[in-house]
Amino acid sequence: MSWLKRLFSVRSTTSRIAFGQVSMLISVTLVAIILGILPDFLGTRLKDRVSLAEAIAANSSVLITQTDLIRLESVLNLVVERNDELLSAGVRRADNRLVVNISNHQTDWNKGLNEEAIDQQMIVPIIAGRQQWGALELKFKPLYGEGILGFYHRPTVQFILFCGVILYLLYFLYLTKMLKQLDPSQAVPDRVRAALDTMAEGLIVLDRKAQIVLANQAFSDLLSRSSSSLMGFEVDKLPWQLKEDASTDDFPWLAAMNTGKAEMNQTVRLELEDGVRTFMVNCSPVLADEGKAGGVLVSFDDITQLEEQEVELRRSKAEAEQANRAKSDFLANMSHEIRTPMNAILGFTEALKRGYGKNEQNNEHYLSTILVNGEHLLNLINDILDLSKVEAGHLDVESVALKPYQIISEVIQVMSVKAQEKGIALAYRPEGSIPETLMSDPARFRQIITNLVGNAIKFTEAGGVTVVTRMDTQQNKLITEVRDTGIGMTAEQAISVFDPFVQADSSITRRFGGTGLGLAISKKFAEAMEGEIYARSEPEKGSQFYLELNVKTDGPVALISAEEISELKQSEATLNVARWKFPDASVLVVDDGIENRELISLVLSEQGIKTDGAADGVEALEKLAVNQYDLVLMDVQMPRMDGYTAAREIRKKEMTLPVIALTAHAMKGIEQKCLDSGYSGYMSKPINIDKLIQLLVHELDAEPLSEACNDDRALDNGTVGVSYHSSSPNQSISALTLDDSSQLSPLYSELGASNPKFEKIVARFIVRVNDVYKQIQSCSTQQDFTVLRAHAHWLKGSAGSVGFPGLTDLAVKLEQTAIKQEVAGTEMLVAAIGVMIKRINLAKDNPNGINSLSTQTDNQWVIPETVTSELASQGEKFRLIAVKFVAKLEHQITQMKQELDGNDFSALADLAHWLKGAGGSVGFPVFTEIAKALEKAAQAENGPECETLIATVDEIHKRINL
């Protein structure tokens, strides 16, 4: 039975070869028949029938001519009787009348039979004279039957079937004997094979093509196949389960065969009927001539159960470590929370000790901060002592009167230091009226707000954090929202982030730190206070955390408006401006623009810092080699040697001093590129003097001083504080898109309100922003995203500088949507910007307001009637820098025209690059975008556009008034 099974098994190598040889013989036979090499039996018989029919028709024609139908009938009757294949015959006249009927021909004759079936019925014309008299009809037996049986009766089919069966048996018997001599497995003695079959681990031998030439019983049983059926099977085609980043080229037996070295203790997984099994594989190459591997011996040891036990042990260990880490993470989080108020306490105590409090007002502010943070620290200690209740979820909360706006303001004051360190905005924006007091737990409320604001600052690298409060009158709830412009989360992460020790993903902990416990504690606090906390977020679009508390009071709910909150905070704000005492320090300023070097040198000399200058990277390295500096402020794009190369050379020389990048490039990724090159910091042009001083304070360890804010020098040093407004410039776009201007409140500039010296700057901005907005609307309608992006970029940089941060936020979003060419988002943002500009225009009745004085050139560039330097208004020394720039600009414009006439676009691009960096630095931001466009046009060698832009630059130069 096994022999018969192997005979007809398609898996048998012998049967496959025998079947292939028979198939080739049959194919050759069919080709020979088609070419006429072999006789066609059916064709020969058909020809004989045709000859018989022609002979009878010829004889019939003679008899018809003689009108001897009786003799014709006798002849046909004789032919039918003597020919077994002829069933009937008849003669039919031209008028279709049958005149001779032999053997019931009229009944047997099938008029509907296909005319091409000449093997069964034949019709031959009968000619009388020169005309067709009629036709001879002959009915024959079919040459072959109908259906499968008739097909089998064909001689060709019988011949092929006979040869196929007989030759298959002969080939099978022959190959069984021959392949036994050639089969490598047969070279193994029976006693050795029996020994291999008794092994518990699977064993196979592969040839150079990774085909199986020997398999023991254990391996065959794994696949539920016989050893002989595996002969010649490619082992790579088995259902191996590969890793995500792996391919079939990574199999250990292929590596052993390619290298000629053994591969030991490799793990592979095979998908079988009972599931996925794991094997420990050892591969030993079988060396042939010249030391090359002619094959490989592979053993498979099933370690599935051991692996499952190991996974279970690792899981148990991880659970134990997680349980142990939970307490450590909690203590680490508490340590972090304690340090925040402790730093404030120690810092302001040190300030009092050193006598920084010059007046009673300062001392009161410092002591108030110490008191607030001391109480907060005491509450944290109480929470630690009540740890068992926190873990059990049973928290005791108080129900006393608290002022939400006051606690939020105090948290903002404490957390503003962190925000300033990261260079992001932090503000409190009350929307509408909220309860002045409510009954709840002040300590828990403070802790929740602190956690939410702290998390928002931690995960925000650009933009800002805003705390918004509003009243839900329908549900009688106070909603506190913490918005940020940080990294954001997915919807799933926004839910799981409130679980203990969970952050958005593992990379968050490495990047930002933290234990992930703050939000979990905040959620427990909120639930204990009969409120709820939840989050909404999108990746890369920031997050919004919401705290909702039921409004409970002892009596009627007393509401306080947003304007009243702003007035209270302004009355409590101190009127001091930060001043700094810098140590003896020397700074090297590296920039190819002399105006930039003069400006930075002037700012630094005003702070008592020594400066030195260099025009490019080569000169900077030369000066660093002979002089001692404490800091380097270096441009990025310079002739001879750029800033990237210079920074790398500085680090190669093992110089550890800070090197800060100053560049007009503000594209995404430039800051990281600077840091990767060796810079230790980054600042974009035009240089913000306040930010520059803050950077110097940090790098040079300056000590704070205190002077009255009416000191004119405070303008150059900047201030740090929190502003409060009746409505938020960061509010949602949907809330801004109001068509009724009567519902809008005037929006005044923070810059104009802080110092009257900035009123002219604000006024000029209001003039220009109205003109630019017309261009923005036109670009939005025409979907000209390139120009729209340029206008949004200008608005992004200018609005915040003149005290409209809300307009900056919208401009940032507009620039992003213009880059992505999102039509719907662009239209919504343009409408929102229009509403905010309406609010700014509503402030024109204020003394700071001003009517539009700008004009527009023939192209898209908007030029004010009078162009002044924002830098010149800050003092005579700054004005002289602007005067030098204007004088040099006249020469540079002449040079631009000459380079254009000579088609030297490379030199023209260099001049445009100088103007792009120098113009904004000396207080002429109107040149920045135009110079950028001119540089791009020069690089593209677009002569007509360059001529237009140079004319625009020349027109602006003529309107300069210092």
| pLDDT tens-digit map of 406-432 | 899 888 877 876 787 677 888 888 888
Residue 649 pLDDT level (bands cut at 50, 70, 90) = very high
DSSP state of 240: B
Measured between its terminal Cα atoms, the distance across the chain in Å is: 112
Q: Given a cut of 80, is residue 149 above it in pLDDT?
A: no
Burial label, 552 (beta-carbon count in 10 A; 0-12, 13-18, 19+): middle
Q: Given a cut of 90, is residue 588 above it in pLDDT?
A: yes
Q: What is the CATH number of domain 41-143?
A: 3.30.450
Across 123-143, average pLDDT: 83
Tokens of 212: 């199986």
Across 320-332, average pLDDT: 68
Check residue 764 and give its pLDDT. 74
Check residue 658 and give its pLDDT. 92
**Residue whose C-alpha is closest to residue 603's, from 921, 928, 917:** 921
How many H helices and E strands in the chain? 35, 27
Are 731 and 747 spatial neighbours (Cβ–Cβ below 8 Å)? no
**Residue whose C-alpha is closest to residue 560's, from 736, 441, 406:** 406
Q: Given a cut of 90, is residue 647 above it in pLDDT?
A: yes
Look at residue 957 and give its three-state secondary structure.
helix
Residue 622 pLDDT level (bands cut at 50, 70, 90) = very high
Across 477-504, average pLDDT: 79
Give residue 421's identity as a one-letter amino acid code: E
| Dihedral pair phi/psi, residue 883, rounded to 5° | -65, -45
Task: Tell me which long-range contacts 756-764 makes (C-beta under 8 A, separation of at least 24).
Answer: 757/715, 757/873, 757/874, 758/802, 758/803, 759/848, 760/868, 760/873, 761/802, 761/870, 761/873, 762/802, 762/803, 762/848, 763/848, 763/849, 763/850, 764/850, 764/864, 764/868
* CATH 1.20.120.160, applies to 728-853: yes
Across 775-785, average pLDDT: 87
Across 333-349, average pLDDT: 71
Q: Given a cut of 80, is residue 245 above it in pLDDT?
A: no
**What's the angle, vertex CA 881, arms to CA 876 and CA 884, rounded to 5?**
120
Across 637-644, average pLDDT: 88
The whole-angstrom separation of Cα 69 and Cα 89 is: 14
Check residue 787 and give its pLDDT. 86
Mean pLDDT, the chain, integer: 76
CB-based burial, 894-924: b 16+ in 10 Å, e otherwise: eebbebbeeeebeebbbbbbbbbbbbbbbbb
Residue 165 pLDDT level (bands cut at 50, 70, 90) = confident
- The Cα-based distances of 727 to 294, 723, 844, 847 in angstroms read 82, 11, 18, 21
The whole-angstrom separation of Cα 671 and Cα 781 is: 34
Check residue 479 and give its pLDDT. 93
Who wins on pLDDT, 720 or 593?
593
Are 792 and 815 spatial neighbours (Cβ–Cβ below 8 Å)? yes
DSSP state of 722: -
Check residue 758 and give its pLDDT. 56
The whole-angstrom separation of Cα 961 and Cα 919 is: 15
Q: What is the DSSP string of 663-681?
A: ES--STTHHHHHHHHT-SE
Q: Given a cut of 60, is residue 718 above it in pLDDT?
A: no
DSSP state of 119: T
Q: Given a cut of 50, is residue 936 above it in pLDDT?
A: yes
Who wins on pLDDT, 524 or 908?
908
Kindly give, in sequence order, each residue whose CB lies less than 8 Å from that of residue 161, ignoring residues fewer than 6 positions away.
152
Check residue 469 and give its pLDDT. 93
Task: Tell me which long-range contacts 883-892 makes (C-beta under 8 A, separation of at least 24).
Answer: 883/962, 884/595, 884/598, 885/595, 885/918, 885/919, 885/922, 885/924, 886/957, 886/960, 886/962, 888/595, 889/915, 889/957, 890/957
DSSP state of 359: S
Are 147 and 177 spatial neighbours (Cβ–Cβ below 8 Å)? no
Give residue 200's Cα distance to chain centre.
Answer: 50
Across 110-134, average pLDDT: 75
Say which range, 589-598, 652-661, 736-745, 763-772, has the weakest mean pLDDT.
736-745
Q: 398-574: what CATH class?
A: alpha beta
Q: Given a cut of 80, is residue 44 above it in pLDDT?
A: no
The whole-angstrom separation of Cα 618 and Cα 597 is: 16
Are 877 and 713 spatial neighbours (Cβ–Cβ below 8 Å)? no
CATH classification for the domain delimited by 577-708, as one of 3.30.70.330, 3.40.50.1390, 3.40.50.2300, 3.40.605.10:
3.40.50.2300
Check residue 481 and give its pLDDT. 93
The whole-angstrom separation of Cα 479 and Cα 550 is: 9
Check residue 638 and give its pLDDT. 85
**Residue whose C-alpha is closest to residue 643's, from 590, 586, 596, 589:** 590
pLDDT-above-90 percentage for the chain: 7
Across 534-562, average pLDDT: 85
Q: Which CATH superfamily is domain 185-302 in?
A: PAS domain (3.30.450.20)
**Residue whose C-alpha is closest to residue 445's, from 550, 535, 536, 537:** 550
Across 871-877, average pLDDT: 66
- The Cα-based distances of 694 to 149, 577, 613, 641 in angstroms read 103, 13, 21, 29
Q: Given a cut of 70, is residue 541 above it in pLDDT?
A: yes
Residue 709 pLDDT level (bands cut at 50, 70, 90) = very low
**Residue whose C-alpha is closest to residue 45's, from 125, 144, 148, 159:** 144
Burial label, 211 (beta-carbon count in 10 A; 0-12, 13-18, 19+): middle
Who wins on pLDDT, 263 or 194?
263
**Residue whose C-alpha is closest to residue 730's, from 795, 830, 810, 833:** 810
Same fold, 728-853 and 854-962: yes
Give residue 452's Cα distance to chain centre.
Answer: 27
Give residue 892's identity as a one-letter amino acid code: Q
Q: Given a cut of 90, is residue 524 above it in pLDDT?
A: no
Q: Given a cut of 60, is residue 146 above it in pLDDT?
A: yes
The whole-angstrom separation of Cα 636 and Cα 333 is: 41
Residue 129 pLDDT level (bands cut at 50, 70, 90) = confident
- Strand pairing partners for 100? 91
Residue-range domain boundaries for the chain: 2-38+151-182, 41-143, 185-302, 398-574, 577-708, 728-853, 854-962
Which stretch of DSSP H or E encloses residue 704?
Answer: strand 703-708
The whole-angstrom separation of Cα 527 and Cα 525 is: 6
Which stretch of DSSP H or E encloses residue 565?
Answer: helix 562-572
Check residue 51 and give its pLDDT. 83
Q: Given a cut of 80, is residue 183 above it in pLDDT?
A: no
Across 504-530, average pLDDT: 63
Check residue 727 and give its pLDDT. 32
Q: Given a cut of 70, is residue 192 above it in pLDDT?
A: no
Q: Which CATH superfamily is domain 854-962 in?
A: HPT domain (1.20.120.160)
Residue 9 pLDDT level (bands cut at 50, 70, 90) = low
Q: Given a cut of 80, is residue 915 above it in pLDDT?
A: yes
Q: Given a cut of 80, is residue 289 above it in pLDDT?
A: no
Residue 613 pLDDT level (bands cut at 50, 70, 90) = very high
Say which range, 522-526, 607-611, 710-714, 950-954, has the weakest mean pLDDT.
710-714
